[in-house]
Structure 1
Amino acid sequence: MARVSQAQAQENRRRVVDTASRLFREQGTGVSVADLMKAAGLTHGAFYKQFTSKEALVDEATAHAFDDLARRHTAGLEQYGGQRDAAQRALIDAYLSTEHRDDAADGCPVAGLATDVAREPEDREARRVYAEGVAAFAAFLAPDGAGAGDATGDGLTRLSTLVGALILARATQGSPLSEEILAAAHAALTEEA
């Protein structure tokens, strides 16, 4: 049996974390290790060479999802030349789209991981990372002048509206109500601006 190089081992780990991040948002953290490794194109036994436990992977995949979300927010600000209002409007448009509703795997970790993270013990790393990610997202959504890191007031209200609407739209997908939920939340958030 050939040994895996250190570079290949790092690539395998990255692939597992990325795959787990997507599958956990789409299907929940109850995905089996065997199914996860199959989706990553690796053997079940390779998991235990990379991670001490599935819980450790949940922690790392949660952090990965929120790191990706932060990169998207930074890229949005850069795309709109630092114009926070324009970046927020674009985010609201994309967030409350049927494409985002239909693509949980690549979607927002706040909505995708909410129920699973809520079931984790309070001392778990995934809970800490999730709370920090929610605060950062709310700060991004705060109106201009609210201050970096401000996760109170309008930012939390906007985030709650986005996430609640997305979760409800996903739960009612296939009925006209799903699109109505997205449209109503969009109108509420864009009319307030």
Structure 2
Amino acid sequence: MGRVSQAQAQENRRRVVDTASRLFREQGTHVSVVDLMKAAGLTHGAFYKQFPSKEALVDEATVRAFDELARAHAAGLAQHEGRHDAARRALIDAYLSVEHRDDPADGCPVAALATDIAREGGGREARRVYTEGVADFADFLGGDDRGGIVRLCTLFGALVLSRATKGSPLSEEILIAARGALTETA
């Protein structure tokens, strides 16, 4: 079997990082390298040609997830012609939706990665990226006060609780109550 071209190697790496970003949000960073590479359509051995360790991939996948979040915030502002209040209200509605609750793989990395990042060492790149991403998200949700942190905590808590109670009437009740409380103040 021949060697892959540099372009193919870059494409393979991108595919692995994209797959990891989704799988880590959906299942947690404990996903095995074997399962991750299978989901990416590559062999287990190809992993070590691309990454020095799984921790390095966790770091890179966390960066990717927060880059997606930042692009979504920018797109929301553009869609609402720079009207921050309208963009924030739309984000709250989408964040606290059944669709977002049911799709962690493509959802917010703040809620999906919190527990895993909390277990990471303090000096890790993933922890730094996560912390900066949380601060940026709170800034996006905020105004002239510290309300962004309160809004983010409410969004996060409601989404996590709704996911944990999925299948019960309480799950949607949590989303509705939090959305109501946040849109009254947004």
| Structure 1 length-normalised TM | 0.95
Matches within 5 A, 1:1-193: 1-143=1-143, 146=144, 153-193=146-186
Q: Aligned-pair distance for 1:16? A: 0.3
Q: Aligned-pair distance for 1:55? A: 0.2
Let me know the Cα RMSD of the aligned residues. Answer: 0.7
Q: Structure 2: how far apart are the matches of 1:153 and 1:177?
A: 29
The aligned amino acid for 2:167 is G
Q: Aligned-pair distance for 1:188? A: 0.4
Q: Structure 2: how far apart are the matches of 1:123 and 1:81?
A: 39
Q: Aligned-pair distance for 1:192? A: 1.4
* 3-state secondary structure, aligned to 1:52: coil
Q: Which runs of 5+ in 1 are unaligned?
A: 147-151
Q: Aligned-pair distance for 1:57? A: 0.2
The aligned amino acid for 2:36 is L
What do residues 115-151 of structure 1 show as CA deviations (whole Å, max 9, x unaligned)? 00000010111000000000000000012xx3xxxxx
The aligned amino acid for 1:109 is P
* 3-state secondary structure, aligned to 2:166: coil
Q: Structure 2: how far apart are the matches of 1:6 and 1:77?
A: 37
* 3-state secondary structure, aligned to 1:78: helix
The aligned amino acid for 2:185 is E
Q: Aligned-pair distance for 1:191? A: 1.0
**Deviant stretches of 4+, over 6 Å:** none
Residue 149 (structure 1) aligns with: none
Number of aligned pairs?
Answer: 186
